[in-house]
Amino acid sequence: MTRHGEAVWPELGLGGVRDEAPKGYCWVWLADPQWTVGGDGHRCRASVGRCHNAAVAGFFRKHGPGFRRWYYCESHLYGRIIEDGVVKFRRLVEMEGTT
């Protein structure tokens, strides 16, 4: 669901993150080139200092006139996972031969 309560993909019947994909689709995990594994000794930045867990990954985010690396713990990877030393995100893709 969006923050306004609308379904993300209403034509597919998806209202939020689910483990089961709709008919004719499947979930695949893809490497996220924006993220890198390693917390470099930093703490999680989620909720600006409310989480004090050790960071496990980070990405460069706009900060003032430039960019700064922001770090997050495993609980705050925003739907991502770390697998084989790579940060990955989940994407819904149409299965071949279903159209």
Q: How confident is the model at residue 3 (pLDDT cuts 50, 70, 90)?
A: very low
In a domain, 1, yes or no: no
In a domain, 4, yes or no: no
Query: Structural domain of residue 72, as residue ranges?
Result: 10-94
Q: How confident is the model at residue 20 (pLDDT cuts 50, 70, 90)?
A: confident
What's the whole-model pTM score? Answer: 0.69
Instruction: For residue range 48-98, list pLDDT tens digits in order.
Output: 668 889 999 999 888 889 998 899 999 898 889 999 999 999 999 998 876
The kind and range of the H/E element at 72 are strand 66-72
What distance in Å separates the CA atoms of residue 31 and residue 90, rounded to the nearest whole number?
9
In a domain, 44, yes or no: yes
In a domain, 49, yes or no: yes
User: For the chain, how many structural domains are there in total?
Assistant: 1
What distance in Å separates the CA atoms of residue 88 and residue 32, rounded to the nearest whole number?
5
